[in-house]
Amino acid sequence: MLSSSALSRLLQWAADEAGYLLRLLVWLPVWVGVGAAVAAATLAYQLPHTYTVEVGSGQDQAYVRNFHARMPSAGRTCRWSDLYGYVGFPGVGGSRPFTLTLTLNPGRRAPVQIIINGERFLDRTLDEGWQTVRFRVDDTHPSALASRDTVVELRAPDFRTPDVPGEPKGVKLDSVTLEQDAQGGFITPSYSTLGLFACFVLLVYLLIGRFMRGLSLFEVIKWRALTVAFAVGMLLLSVLAWNHAVFSAIAPHLVVTALSAYFLAALCEALLSGSKVHVNLTSLVWRRLLALAFAGAFVARYGGMALPQSVIIDMPYHMRWLRTLLAGDWQALYFPGGLSTVPPEWGLSLLIPKSPLFYVVVAPLAGLPFDLETLVKWVVCLLDASLVPLAYWLVRRLGFSRGAALAAAYLYAAMPLVFRSFAYGILPTILAQWLAALLLAGVLVASNKGWSVLRWVGLTMLAVLAFLSFPTPAVFLTLILAALPVLWLRAGKKPFQWPVYALIAAAWAVAVWAYYGLYVNAVAASAMSLLAPAPGGGATVRWPGGVPQLLAWTAGYSVTVLPLLPAVVAVVALLVRKAGNPAHRRAFVLVLVWLLIAPLFMVVNYRVDMIGKHLFFVMLPVAVMSGIGVWLMSRRGQWGKVYAGLALVTVGWQALLFWVERLVGASA
């Protein structure tokens, strides 16, 4: 429950934010600009286009519904529809005649119905084989012509294929093309697309106005914010003029992203301010920059991941298991079975106890009235972005300036390896890393403030969750936590931190009792069968494709080793420096041990497992040390400042290039 003072501060903050928003909105030039943007978008709609959805390609998922997985067929990419399948061209505009062309294959002789915008255009039996059907939508079909969003519906009777007998199928679809006439009068724009476009331009204005609050005169802030919003609006108008359907598909996502960025930045700044109502300008700038780094990290992750055209590799896999849990079949996730089998491309018949914790955590999202997959992406992106302030906090705990802390926060926000984790869609690993980071930060706080019973119980519960998230972080955290009490005793001359060992023992006991105990026999049996000699002699375990080159693969997997170079500089500098503050020494020991577990895992995993998983658990300490290293270099004269600036810009640019390349490449 919130205390009365906390509730009062919350209400005061909300009233202050609402008042400032109202001041930004009650300004005539804003609404004139929004009206002009809507008028320009209406003009952009008058450019007719030809739209093609290559069904079965990476970019089709923004436009198809009720279709099965992509598949090759006679040199084509295609999908089987369900009994009812839909292909949508959102927001292309109405009242302009168009021709619709479909390339399909019923897969057998079967009756097929094709309905365009609610009007039936085809109802006859088609023979097996690929064929092209074409329909003209003009004044003879007034209701279909008037629709501003074109939806093509395909219906066919139930058909089962031998490879997936439990999957009902309709027809195979290869492509759908919508070609608007070059002439034909006014194209009625999609009202929802125009409304979303106006909302986004307005949100950009509010975002810039909120970011500049207190940093300049209010009149200057308004004009600058409006200028930026106008420039962004012009860029979006070019996208709308280029392709109405693409813009209409991404418009809701743009609004959700901008709205989230506004409230996350405002909330982060409010939490950083605490109970202080008035802060000086210098403190305000630092808090504003950290809040912006946090919100920017969320936008970069969610902005790419949740685009309708984006293909996140493991996302269908995780949604399948989540829906299995929501259907009530929790045994399929909890007991040894399909969830815990290794990927088929490994070529191994081995069990790894993958925890259902992630699916249990996100399952309550199904009760919200929004798209479940989008909600899952939103929450995961928020969790990872919240480590940006944690990176800032760790650097401050090490005794460094706000400049070094902000550099670390930025480096985590733009860490290229982070974007690899999102491109792969390894959502349980992202949750596991978040839990591990919170646990280690909490243990550091407890070591400085003392181990009260309540604090120990809370951290033990957090440790149980972190251990249950996946075996890799469980072992990773055990090694770190086991080393800390001894090293802290040497570094800080404090009493031995025995509660850490009690925490480890209690967390493992609960984790084994609650879950891992079920897998001891099953994992041992699968491992022994692999280690048994083959009939021709020798062990059967082999790395698929041969043992990789460890260092080269690690460097490639990390996208870039650049963040590691300043981190090494910082580690050496801190080893040489003798900090007088015991709290700073304990923080350094924690971060150093956190980093040094990675080489150990690389050696162990050389012939056993993929080396990538554990690298995700050291992204935060790498960002922390790299931020310190960049800051130390910036203190070395003008050339040091140039190096620091180039390092930060290069890391951000490499992250952006990798993220865009993965998203575009996956959806090409």
Inter-CA distances, 181 with 87, 98, 146, 244, 566, Å: 20, 6, 14, 15, 58
Contact 92, 164 (CB under 8 A): no
Give Cα 431 to chain centroid, integer Å: 11
Q: Which DSSP state fits 165? A: E
Q: Which DSSP state fits 2? A: -
Instruction: Give the whole-angstrom CA distance, residue 396 versus residue 286.
Output: 13
Q: What is the pTM of this model?
A: 0.89
Closest C-alpha among 352, 362, 337 to residue 428: 362
Q: What is the pLDDT of residue 277?
A: 47
Instruction: Give the whole-angstrom CA distance, residue 68 versus residue 73.
Output: 14
Contact 114, 122 (CB under 8 A): yes
Instruction: Give the whole-angstrom CA distance, residue 119 versus residue 233.
Output: 36
Give me the residues of the chain with pLDDT under 50, please.
1, 275, 277-278, 537-544, 547, 668
CA atoms within 13 A on the CB side of 34: 20
617 Cβ contact list (under 8 Å, min separation 6): 432, 433, 436, 472, 473, 476, 597, 598
Instruction: Give the whole-angstrom CA distance, residue 331 versus residue 495.
Output: 46
* Degrees to nearest 5, angle at CA 522 with 520 and 525: 105
Inter-CA distances, 29 with 205, 303, 511, Å: 12, 29, 60
Contact 402, 284 (CB under 8 A): no
Q: What is the pLDDT of residue 466?
A: 95
Q: What is the pLDDT of residue 666?
A: 61
Q: What is the pLDDT of residue 541?
A: 45
Instruction: Give the whole-angstrom CA distance, residue 497 versus residue 464.
Output: 19
Contact 59, 668 (CB under 8 A): yes
Instruction: Give the whole-angstrom CA distance, residue 301 versus residue 319.
Output: 19
Tokens of 299: 């936008």
Burial class for 11, CB neighbours closer than 10 Å (0-12, 13-18, 19+): exposed
Instruction: Give the whole-angstrom CA distance, residue 227 versus residue 208.
Output: 10
Q: What is the pLDDT of residue 550?
A: 56
Q: How many residues does the chain have?
A: 668
Count CB neighbours of 505 within 10 A. Answer: 11
Contact 114, 135 (CB under 8 A): yes
Q: Which long-range contacts (CB under 8 A, 24 or more apart) does 471-478 make?
A: 471/352, 471/353, 471/516, 472/432, 472/613, 472/614, 472/617, 473/432, 473/433, 473/435, 473/436, 473/617, 474/508, 474/511, 476/436, 476/597, 476/601, 476/614, 476/617, 477/436, 477/439, 477/440, 478/504, 478/508
Tokens of 378: 């939103």
Contact 522, 336 (CB under 8 A): yes
* Degrees to nearest 5, angle at CA 559 with 556 and 562: 110
Across-strand partners of 98? 137, 180
Contact 167, 115 (CB under 8 A): no
Q: What is the pLDDT of residue 538?
A: 46
What sign for the dihedral angle of Cα 299, 301, 306, 311?
positive
Instruction: Give the whole-angstrom CA distance, residue 262 versus residue 211.
Output: 9
* Amino acid, single-letter form, for residue 226: L
Tokens of 441: 């930060």
Contact 125, 79 (CB under 8 A): no
